[in-house]
Amino acid sequence: MMAYEANLSLPRNQPSRAALWLSTTLLLLGGGCSRSSSLPQRLPEGAFMEMAGGSISTVHPGPLDAMNVYASNVAIRTNAKKVDGSEVCSGVLMNSSHVLTAGHCLCMRRSVSTDESRAALRKRLDEVLPSRGKTESEKRELDNLKARVVKNAATVLDATLCAAEGDVKFVEYLPPRPNIKSKATSTEYRGAAIRPHPGLLIVEDAAGTTWFREADLAIIRLAAPVEESFRTARLPDAEIQLGNRVVMVGYGFGANGSTTNDFGDRHYGESQVIGIERIPSGSVKFLTRKQPRGDGPPPRLYSGDSGGGCFSQTDDTVLVGIASAVWKDGESSIFTSVYPYKQWIKEELKKADAALTGDTTSVAP
C-alpha cells in the first residue's frame, strides 16, 4: 500500500494553508458533499496534501461490476514495487495493447539525502513552479514553499527509476445468477514496456506525507493484445468541472479488507467533483467526495485502487481521471485529470503502434 494513500492526523511539520498559497487555483464546491459548510470556497496550494500510515488506503463501498460495464479497468501487479509494499494497482485499457495507470504504481522512490539530490529536486520545482511574472511578494511565498518542500523531502518518485515490466489481469464476470455470488474468469497479460510521464514527480517526507505531486501517470504496453471484448475508454473533450458527477472504478481491498478478501475484484462507486487544483505547469488534479447514504460511508479510493479510472457519469465511456491518492479528510479521493495530458497519451500510443509496425512516419514530431 502506498503510504500517501492513507490518512491520519496532520503531522506537526505540515505547513499552514496560508503559507502555501500560490498562483495555483483550488476551488471547492459548497454543496452536495459531507461537512461542506466547514469548507472555504478557496484553499491554497497544498490543500491536496495526503497523509501517511494506517491500514486504510478508492472504491468502497461500491457494487461489484458484475455486468462488466467497466471491463476496460484491469488489475496490475508490479513485483519491483514490493520493496515499498505497493505492488498491486488498477489501470485502464486505452486499446487492446495499452494500459493507462498511475505513475507511482510503476516507479520507485529514491532517497533525498545529499546536497546534490536536494539541489536536483529544487531545480525540478523551479521548472514546475516558475517565479516568472509573479510579484515580489508572490515570489517570496513561492520560494519559501519550494524551500520547505526540499527541506522536508525524504524521498522523491519520478520517471528515472521505474519497473521494466508488470503483470496485467483482465477480469470478466460470468452472467449473474439469483442468490449466487458472481464468479469471474481472468487472463493475465505481460506488460513488456513501461512509459511513465516525464513530468512525474512525487515528494514525501520521512513520515510518508506527500508535499508535492504532479503528472502521476504511466502507460504499460502489453506484450500481446487483450483478446477479450471490452468498451474502449475515450479521452475527454473538455476539462473536468466543479460539480461534475463521476464513477470511480478499481480493484482495491476496501476498508481494512472488507470489500474483498483478496485483491482482484472490480468495484465501482459514484461521486462528485468538489475541488480542482491547477499548477503553472498545466497539471490538474481534482477531488471527489459524495454525501453518504444512510449509515454507510461514501465511496472512495482504497489500497489497490490507485491507477483506476474515473469516468463521467453522463457518458461512462469518457475517462476523466486516474486515481492517485486519498485526501487527508479520509473521505475524499484525488485523481490526476487526463485532459491536460491528452497529447502525451496520444503520442505515446502512436509511438508504440509505430514501433510494432515499423512505420515511423506515423509518429507525431
What pLDDT does residue 103 have? 95
DSSP state of 74: E
What pLDDT does residue 209 have? 86
Domains of the chain and CATH, by start: 3-357 (2.40.10.10)
What pLDDT does residue 303 have? 66
- Taking only the tens place, the pLDDT of each residue in 31-52 is 222 222 223 233 333 333 333 3
What pLDDT does residue 157 have? 95
Mean pLDDT in consecutive groups of 10 residues from the start of the chain, 365 residues: 26 32 32 26 36 36 86 92 79 96 94 96 93 90 93 95 93 83 89 94 91 95 95 95 93 56 75 90 85 55 80 96 83 91 95 62 39
DSSP state of 316: T
The Cα 101–Cα 106 span in angstroms is 9
* Whether 306 contacts 300, CB under 8 Å: no
DSSP assignment of 39-93 equals S-SB--TTTT--B--SS----BS--B-TT-TTTTEEEEE-GGGGGGT--EEEEEE
SS3 of the chain: helix, strand, coil, percent, to 5: 20, 35, 45
The Cα 28–Cα 121 span in angstroms is 30
What pLDDT does residue 132 have? 87
Q: Name residues whose C-beta falls within 8 Å of residue 257's C-beta, 6 or more positions apart in sequence.
A: none
- Taking only the tens place, the pLDDT of each residue in 117-143 is 999 999 999 998 898 888 999 999 999
* Whether 289 contacts 271, CB under 8 Å: yes
Q: Name residues whose C-beta falls within 8 Å of residue 338's C-beta, 6 or more positions apart in sequence.
A: 100, 217, 235, 236, 319, 320, 321, 322, 345
